[in-house]
Structure 1
Amino acid sequence: MKHFENVIIGFGKAGKTLAGSLAKHGQEVLVIEKDAQMYGGTCINVACLPTKNMIINAQRGVDYEKSLAIKNQLTSKLRNANYHKIADLDLVTVLNATASFIDNQTIEVTDESGREKITADKFFINTGSTPIIPAIDGIDSSRHVYTSREMLDADHQTQKLTILGSGPIGLEFASMYQQFGSAVTVLGHSDRILKNIDENIASMVEQDLISDGIDLKLKADLMQVKDTNDGVQLIYQQNGEKKIVDADALLVATGRRSNTDGLGLENTTIKIGSHGEILTNDTLQTNVDHIWALGDVNGGPKFTYISLDDYRIVNNQLFGSKNKTLANRPVYSTTTFLNPSISTIGMTASQAALSGKNIKVLTLSAGAIPKAKVIGDDRGYLQAIVDNDSDEILGATIYAEESYETINLIALAMQTHTPATILRDQIYAHPTMTESFNDLFADL
C-alpha cells in the first residue's frame, strides 16, 4: 500500500493550482484524474473557454466546421500545457485513474494496470460537477439527446436544434447555434428567462433573442422524447395544451450537480448535503479534518474563478495567514455570453427595493454609448444600484457589448468601497464601453 503526503482527486482549476503550491512548499502530491481529456478541468476543456471561442467565431461569421477545428486546437493546446505545468514538477505524480474511498484514510485507485490502495495525510476532492438529466420518458434511450460537452464535440452542425432549459448554458448555446445559422427552439419551464436579473431587463434580452430568430417557448414542460428516422420528436405541454416540436437533436441544459459519482463517499463519514454536494466549513474543510472539497463538488457557485478562489482559501489556511475564508470572499460578477452579453453583480433593483436601504437606481441605454455603435450592436441597457448615503455601488446589471469587461470595474469599485462618483468623474479612453460610466452615474 502506497502513502502520499497529499492526494488530489480531480485535475480541475482548484486542484491543479493547489498541487503546484504544495510542491512549491516541498510536499509530495498525487493528482488523480480519471479522464485524460479533462486535464485542467471543465472550463478549458468543455465549458468556458471552448464555448466562448465558438461563440466569438460564430459572431465573426466563421462557419461551424472551421470553428470546431479552431476550438479543438485551442483545447488540445491548453490541456497539454496544463498537464505539463503540474506533471513535470519533481514532487507531483499525475495518475490517469479512478479513485474511490474505502474509508476515511484510504482510497482504491483503478487504472489499466489494475487496482491499488493508497493512503494519505491529506485528501483534496476536486471532481467538479456533471449535467443534470431530468427524468423524462424516452430521454435516456434517445440517440439524439446531448449534454453541453457532447454538443461541443459534435463533428457536424445540428441544423435544427431544440434546447431544454432557458438558463445561461441553454441560452448561450441557443445564441451560438443561431449565429451559425441553425434553427433553434428553446423549451423553458419558467415564465421568463434569466431569473437572476430584473424582469424588465430579462424581457429586453428575451425580445432580442426572438428578434434574432430564436423560438422561445416558455412555461413549457417536456413530457416525452421519441426518436424518429430523421431525428427526435419532442412532446411538451404548454399552458395546458399538448404540443410537438421536431428536431435533429435535443440539448439538455437543465443545470449541473456536484460530481460525487463513484467516489465511495458512503464508505466514509464525510457529510453530504441535500443536493449531493460535499459539505464543508468556511475554509472548505469537510467534517473529516484531513479531507477538503474544492470547486463545484462542494456545492458553491459553479464558476472556474470561484474554484480558483477556493484554492486561495485552502492555500491560505495551509501556508498563509489563515484569514481567508468563504465569509470574506470578494464580490464577483457573472456573465451570460449572448449577443450582446449580459453581466451582473450584487443586488438587482428588485432586491434593493426590499432591502430597506436608501437607494438610487441609475439607468442608461446602450444606444447612448459611442463604442456600441462602433461595434455595430447598440442594443442593451445598463443599470446600477447606488446607496444614496455613501454613493457606494450595491449592484449592477450590464446588458451590452463587452459587458464582461466593464463589469470588472464595477466589481473592483464594490470590493474597495470606491464611490460611484469616482467612476463618474474618471477620464476614460475613447471610444470604449467603460466611458459609459460617465453618463450612467451622471445624476449622482
Structure 2
Amino acid sequence: MKKFDAVIIGFGKGGKTVALAERSDKMYGGTCINVACIPTKALDHSAALSAAMGGSFGEKAARYRAAIEEKRALTAKLRQKNYDKLASQPQITVLQGTAQFTGPHTVSVSGPQGVVELWGDTIFINTGARPFVPPIPGLAGNPRVYLSETLMELEQLPRRLVIIGGGYIGMEFASIWANFGSQVTIVQDGEAFLPREDAEIAAAVLESLRARGVTVLRGAEIHAVRGGGDTALIDLTASGEARTLEAEAVLVATGRRPELEGLHPEAAGVELTARGAVKVDAHLRTTAPHIFALGDVAGGLQFTYISLDDARIVRSALLGDGSRTTENRGAVPYSVFLDPPFSRVGLTEQEARDAGHEVKVARLQAAAIPKAQILRQPAGLLKAVIDADSSCVLGAHLFCAESHELINLLKLAVDQKIPYTALRDAVYTHPTMSEALNDLFASVH
C-alpha cells in the first residue's frame, strides 16, 4: 500500500496536489476544460461567427464540422497541459482509474496499471457531477439521443434539434445550435421560463430566442421517444394538445447530479444529503473529519470558479486560520452564454422586496449602448436593483453583449456595498460596454 499525505479523487479545479486518481484520461483538468465551459464557449464563439456569415445549410454544416474539430484540438491541448503540470512534479502521482473507498483512510484505484491501494492522511473528494437522465421511455440507448458531452462530438449538424429541459444548459445549447443553423425546439415541463430569474430579463431572453427561430414549448409532458434511425420521434403533450416532434438529434439537458458511482463513501464514514451530494460543513469538511469534498459533488453551485474557491476554503481550514468559508465568499456572479450572454449577481427585484428592502430600479435597453451597436448586438436589457435607504446595489441582471465581463464589476459593487452613484458618476473608457453603467444608474427611479 502506498502512503500519501493527501489523496485527491477527481481532476477538477479543486484538486491540484499529491496523489490524484482520475477515472478517465479524457477528463484530465476536469469537467470545465473537457466537456463544459471551455468547449461550449468555443462553440458559442464559432456559432456566432457562422451566423454572421450566413449561407446555405450545407455551408453552415461545413463550418460546424470545422468548429467541432477546433473544439477538440483546444480541449486536447488544455487537457495535456493540466496533466503535464502535475505529472511533471516528483511529489505528485497521477493514477488513471476508478477510485473506491475501502476504509476511513484507504482508497483502491482500479485502472490500466491494475489495482493500487492508497492510504491518505487527508482525502479530497473532487469527482464533480454527471448528467441526469429522466426515466422517459425510449431515451436510454437511442442513437439519436445525446447528453451535453456527446452532442459536442456530433460531427454532422442536425437540421432539427429538440432539447429536453429549459434550464441554463439547454438555453446555451439552443443558442449555439440555432446560430449554427439548426431548427431548435426546447421542451420544458414548467410553465414559467427561467423561473429563478428576474421576470423582465426572462421575457427578454425568451423574445431573443424566438427572434432567432427557437421554439419553446412550456408546460409539456414527454411520453416517449421513438425511432432512432435517421430521426427520432418525440411524443408529448403541450398546452393540452398531443404532438409528435421529429428531429435528427435530441439533447437531454435536465440537470446534473453529484458523481459518486462506485466510490462507496459510506466505507469511509462519509454521509450524503437527501439529494445525493456529499454532506459538508462551511469548511467543506465531511462527516469524516479528515475528508473534504469540493466542487459539484458537494452539492453547491455548479460553477468551475466555485470549485476553485472551494480549494481556497480547504486551504484556509488546513493551513490557515479557517476564516474563509462557503458562507462568506460574497455574491456569486454567473453567466449564461446565449447570444447575447445573460449575466447576474445578487437579488432580483422580487427577491429584494420579499427580503424587506425598499427598492429602486434602473433599466437600460442594450440598443442604447454605442458599443452594442458597434458589435451589431443591440438586443437585450440591463437592470439593476438598489436599496432605497442605503443606495447600495442589491443585484444586477445584464442581458447584453459582453455581460460576462461586465458582471464582475457589479459583483464588487454588491460585495463592497458601493452606492450606485459611484458607478453612475465614474469615468469609463469609450466605446465600451462598461460605460453603459453611467446611463444605467442615471435611470434609477
- Tell me the equivalent position of 1:59: 48
Q: Kindly indicate whether the alpha-carbon contact (under 8 Å) linking 2:10 and 2:21 is maintained by their aligned counterparts in 1.
A: yes
After TM superposition, give the deviation of residue 443 of structure 1 in Å. 4.5
Q: Kindly indicate whether the alpha-carbon contact (under 8 Å) linking 2:282 and 2:327 is maintained by their aligned counterparts in 1.
A: yes
1:221-240 equivalences in 2 (<5 Å): 221-240=221-240
- Tell me the equivalent position of 2:211: 211
After TM superposition, give the deviation of residue 332 of structure 1 in Å. 1.8
Determine the C-alpha separation between the residues in 2 that align with 1:43 and 1:340.
Answer: 21
Between the two proteins, the alignment pairs up a number of residues equal to: 433
Determine the C-alpha separation between the residues in 1 that align with 2:376 and 2:15.
Answer: 41
- Tell me the equivalent position of 1:48: 37
For 2:237, give the aligned amino acid. Answer: Q
Q: Map Cα deviations across residues 305-345 of structure 1 (whole Å, 9 max, x no partner).
A: 00000001001112223210111112221111111111111
Q: Map Cα deviations across residues 189-244 of structure 1 (whole Å, 9 max, x no partner).
A: 11132222122221121111111011111111111011243221100111232210
Q: Kindly indicate whether the alpha-carbon contact (under 8 Å) linking 2:96 and 2:112 is maintained by their aligned counterparts in 1.
A: no
For 1:247, give the aligned amino acid. Answer: A
For 2:337, give the aligned amino acid. Answer: F
- Tell me the equivalent position of 2:8: 8
- Tell me the equivalent position of 2:54: none
Determine the C-alpha separation between the residues in 2 that align with 1:70 and 1:141.
Answer: 28
For 2:383, give the aligned amino acid. Answer: Q
- Tell me the equivalent position of 2:192: 192
Q: Kindly indicate whether the alpha-carbon contact (under 8 Å) linking 2:144 and 2:229 is maintained by their aligned counterparts in 1.
A: no
After TM superposition, give the deviation of residue 111 of structure 1 in Å. 1.3
- Tell me the equivalent position of 2:438: 438
Q: What is the DSSP-based 3-state SS (H/G/I as helix, E as strand, rest coil) of the residue aligned with 1:110?
A: strand
- Tell me the equivalent position of 1:24: none
For 1:13, give the aligned amino acid. Answer: K
Determine the C-alpha separation between the residues in 2 that align with 1:88 and 1:114.
Answer: 22
Determine the C-alpha separation between the residues in 1 that align with 2:234 and 2:325.
Answer: 46
Determine the C-alpha separation between the residues in 1 that align with 2:113 and 2:96.
Answer: 11
1:37 aligns with 2:26: yes
- Tell me the equivalent position of 2:86: 86
1:259 aligns with 2:259: yes
Determine the C-alpha separation between the residues in 2 that align with 1:192 and 1:60.
Answer: 31
> Alpha carbon RMSD of aligned pairs, Å?
1.2
Q: Kindly indicate whether the alpha-carbon contact (under 8 Å) linking 1:143 and 1:227 is maintained by their aligned counterparts in 2.
A: no
Q: What is the DSSP-based 3-state SS (H/G/I as helix, E as strand, rest coil) of the residue aligned with 2:120?
A: strand
Q: What is the DSSP-based 3-state SS (H/G/I as helix, E as strand, rest coil) of the residue aligned with 1:178?
A: helix
1:328-339 equivalences in 2 (<5 Å): 328-339=328-339
- Tell me the equivalent position of 1:134: 134
Structure 2: runs of 5 or more not aligned: 51-59
After TM superposition, give the deviation of residue 90 of structure 1 in Å. 1.9
Q: Kindly indicate whether the alpha-carbon contact (under 8 Å) linking 2:22 and 2:95 is maintained by their aligned counterparts in 1.
A: yes
Determine the C-alpha separation between the residues in 1 that align with 2:269 and 2:176.
Answer: 44
For 1:47, give the aligned amino acid. Answer: A
State the identity as a percent: 41
For 1:203, give the aligned amino acid. Answer: A
Q: What is the DSSP-based 3-state SS (H/G/I as helix, E as strand, rest coil) of the residue aligned with 2:438?
A: helix
Q: Kindly indicate whether the alpha-carbon contact (under 8 Å) linking 2:220 and 2:236 is maintained by their aligned counterparts in 1.
A: yes
Determine the C-alpha separation between the residues in 2 that align with 1:114 and 1:85.
Answer: 24
After TM superposition, give the deviation of residue 35 of structure 1 in Å. 0.5
After TM superposition, give the deviation of residue 266 of structure 1 in Å. 3.3
Q: Map Cα deviations across residues 347-366 of structure 1 (whole Å, 9 max, x no partner).
A: 00111121211211111111
After TM superposition, give the deviation of residue 102 of structure 1 in Å. 1.3
Q: Kindly indicate whether the alpha-carbon contact (under 8 Å) linking 1:192 and 1:202 is maintained by their aligned counterparts in 2.
A: no
Q: What is the DSSP-based 3-state SS (H/G/I as helix, E as strand, rest coil) of the residue aligned with 1:327?
A: coil
Q: What is the DSSP-based 3-state SS (H/G/I as helix, E as strand, rest coil) of the residue aligned with 2:327?
A: helix
Q: Map Cα deviations across residues 143-166 of structure 1 (whole Å, 9 max, x no partner).
A: 211100001111222221111011
Q: Kindly indicate whether the alpha-carbon contact (under 8 Å) linking 1:331 and 1:414 is maintained by their aligned counterparts in 2.
A: yes
Determine the C-alpha separation between the residues in 2 that align with 1:204 and 1:120.
Answer: 51
After TM superposition, give the deviation of residue 66 of structure 1 in Å. 1.2
- Tell me the equivalent position of 2:182: 182
For 2:35, give the aligned amino acid. Answer: V
- Tell me the equivalent position of 1:119: 119
Q: Kindly indicate whether the alpha-carbon contact (under 8 Å) linking 2:343 and 2:407 is maintained by their aligned counterparts in 1.
A: yes
For 1:129, give the aligned amino acid. Answer: A
Q: Map Cα deviations across residues 256-308 of structure 1 (whole Å, 9 max, x no partner).
A: 01101110123232110111100001000001011000000000000000000
